[in-house]
Amino acid sequence: MIKVVFGVPDVILQNLKLGSSLTISTEAIRGVQFQGRISRISPSADPKSRVFDIEIHVPNPRQQLKVGMIAALELPTPKLKQAVPVVPLTSIVRPKDDPKGYAVFLVEEQAGKTLARNRKVRLGEAYGNRIGVVEGLRVGDRVVVNGASLINDGDQVRILP
């Protein structure tokens, strides 16, 4: 039996339970998968990496797995109900007419000018320094990501590569 330790993000943590079976693999032993069980889940995230350590005990009867090997872990991923646009947190502003709401500035071409247009949005889950937008944006919409708090609806903006 060998103990394997992995760091997992908080969005995956809710799908893991003590005793659950997980699969690992390693480049050193290609094509072979090893089944293990979760034996420990850290109660708090590492303050620097912001991931939670999980320990998995993996049977190793042939002594194929060695201490110090690098392994990959197959994690259960939650199925999203639908694809949502994700924007940097720096894109989110408070609309002037609704101080409790949220908005972004869309980038629109109009009469040969590139303008910022205020659009109210409803926010979803945060993913690090990004956040899902569940209402008010479509995948592919262009939004102002730098300086959004410094502009007003209708201001001319410049797109930087």
The total number of structural domains that make up the chain:
2
Q: Are residues 46 and 105 in the same domain?
A: no
User: What SS3 class is residue 99?
Assistant: coil
Quickly list DSSP for 61-130: TT--S-TT---EEE---PPPSS---EEEGGG-B--TT-TTSEEEEEEEEETTEEEEEEEEEEEEEEETTE
Query: Which CATH number does the domain housing residue 21 bear?
Result: 2.40.30.170
Amino acid at the residue 137: L
Q: Do 91 and 66 belong to one domain?
A: no
Return the pLDDT at 151.
94
46 and 92 together in one domain: no
| pLDDT confidence of residue 131 | 92
User: What is residue 78's predicted lDDT score, i.e. its pLDDT?
Assistant: 62
Q: Is residue 156 part of a domain?
A: no
Q: Check which CATH number belongs to the domain holding 118 and give it.
A: 2.40.420.20
At residue 161, the pLDDT reads 77
CA dist 112 and 1 (Å) reads 67
Report pLDDT for 5: 92
First to last CA, the chain: 52
C-alpha R_g of the chain: 23
User: Mean pLDDT by 10-residue block, N- to C-terminus, for the chain (161 residues)?
Assistant: 89 87 92 94 89 93 91 76 86 91 95 94 88 92 93 92 77
Domain ranges, residue 109: 86-150
Contact 104, 93 (CB under 8 A): yes
- Chain centroid to CA 20: 23
Answer yes or no: do 103 and 60 share one domain: no
Q: Are residues 110 and 46 part of one domain?
A: no
